[in-house]
Amino acid sequence: MKKQSLKKITALSFYTFLILTTMGCSDDDNPNPGNGTDPVTINFGLTTVSGAWPNQTSYIQGVTDLDFSTIGNDKALELTGSASTVSYNGALYASPFGAPATLVKYSFNDDGDTVEEERIVVPGANTFSTIYFESETVAYGSVAGGISKLIIFNPTTMRITDEVSLTPITSRFPETTRTYYLDMMERDNKLFMGVHYENNFVPVNDSAYVAVIDLNNRAVEKVIADHRTGMVFGGQAANAGMVKASNNDIYVQGLGTTLDGGSSPSGLLKIPNGQTSFDPDYFMDMQDATGNVCYGIYQMPNGRAFTARVEDASDFYEYATGQPQFKYFEIDIENKSSLGAVPGLPTTYGSRRMIIIPNTDQKLLFTTATNDENAVFSFDTASNTSSKLFTSTGGYITGLEDLNQNQ
């Protein structure tokens, strides 16, 4: 994030400026802001992380465009811990890992500097898992680690206003030692939220679960389950476990349980438009289609869909070999097939965040992290070719947001 010292104006400087302004000519003589320049327009937010666990620092900054070859942290604001970011209404919301769960809101001033506005702290939890913005005054945030719950807050004022009781979810499996709520998708005034149950770090069974929450009365309506895949565990990016197609069908990605001795493969489920149950006639076995365990689902505005496939499943968490293990794969969710690895992209660390965002009508941006460099690649969907857009010299990239996408 963006590291900087905020500019301060002393009382003497202020009054000197005031006198000079009063002595000036007409209002037409100085149409620009006080420093004689136009305000800086920030269109993208960038977050990087450096340092070794547990002593990591996040750096948040805004940029006007992505027309540069390298970027560092000299203009970034620091945030202790490893954080990812999401954006809404031109602001960035960062959640560093580590108790207590904290959500920090950042905006950008006329000089283009990153400014912390407010923060929300939830004692007893380790991190915010997923954020869903309903409006400028209502947002939902799930927290996990220690206590797990769903809070309602005002994203403008950053004040907690309510909480959704999750007893109907937690009471389903009393033997569960941890319950995670990962990813959310809204449709028809219902909030669909991924749920993962585990007992001492092992999934309680082979099924996938999604809670259906009625937003009118802010209560859990039901929990739906499907045994064809398991572990609705999100992806290595914010809100990457569910996508909503142009026809309003919701697709839910499950990591599967084969990594933990279970039998359910990585898979893709569908909740059809107008329904609150899984489609019994739709299932994509992503593990079979791509050849290995898959993590996350991303769908772009042009309809193209992607996932991340692990290369060596025995090193899914990338501790054993010290090597990156994930390849970006394109998939055809209608025909339930793989279109192969995205050409021109290196094998990347999934543990260091994987992000895909649209840039223009024909270009998509992919973050990558290797032992040699941290970079963003531009993928041309017309020619199916990739080229390096820029590299980060300040750490691996955990946030890349187009601030104009959700205005």
- 27 — pLDDT class (breaks 50, 70, 90): very low
Average pLDDT, the chain: 89
Q: What's residue 21's pLDDT?
A: 33
CA distance 46 to 103: 16
Q: What's residue 23's pLDDT?
A: 35
pLDDT digits (tens, 9 = 90+) for 122-178: 999 988 989 999 999 999 999 988 888 999 999 999 999 999 999 999 999 999 998
Q: Pick the range with the lowest mean pLDDT from 108-117, 294-303, 379-388.
A: 294-303
CA distance 96 to 56: 10
pLDDT reading at 237 higher than 90: no
pLDDT digits (tens, 9 = 90+) for 306-365: 999 999 999 999 999 999 999 999 999 999 999 999 999 999 999 999 999 999 878 999
CA distance 364 to 344: 13
pLDDT reading at 290 higher than 50: yes
DSSP 220-233: EEEEEEETTS----
End-to-end CA distance of the chain: 22
The angle subtended at Cα 43 by Cα 39 and Cα 44, nearest 5°, is: 130
- 20 — pLDDT class (breaks 50, 70, 90): very low
User: How many C-beta atoms lie closer than 10 Å to residue 133's C-beta?
Assistant: 18
Structure tokens at 204: 């309680």
pLDDT digits (tens, 9 = 90+) for 97-122: 889 999 999 999 999 999 999 999 99
For residue 162, the SS3 value is: strand
Q: What's residue 207's pLDDT?
A: 97
Mean pLDDT on 195-222: 95
CA distance 166 to 179: 10
pLDDT reading at 236 higher than 70: no
- 291 — pLDDT class (breaks 50, 70, 90): very high
Q: What's residue 302's pLDDT?
A: 86
Return the residue matching tokens 């220690």.
146
pLDDT digits (tens, 9 = 90+) for 29-63: 444 455 568 899 999 999 999 998 889 999 999 99
CA distance 66 to 88: 19
DSSP letter at 348? Answer: B
- 256 — pLDDT class (breaks 50, 70, 90): very high
Mean pLDDT on 354-378: 94
- 3 — pLDDT class (breaks 50, 70, 90): very low
- Contact between 191 and 132 under an 8 Å Cβ cutoff? The reply is yes
Distance of CA 304 to the CA centre of its chain: 19
Q: What's residue 406's pLDDT?
A: 65
For residue 115, the SS3 value is: strand
- 239 — pLDDT class (breaks 50, 70, 90): low
Q: What's residue 187's pLDDT?
A: 96
- 4 — pLDDT class (breaks 50, 70, 90): very low
- 233 — pLDDT class (breaks 50, 70, 90): confident
Peptide bond preceding 324: is omega within 30 degrees of 0, i.e. cis? no
Structure tokens at 184: 């959310």
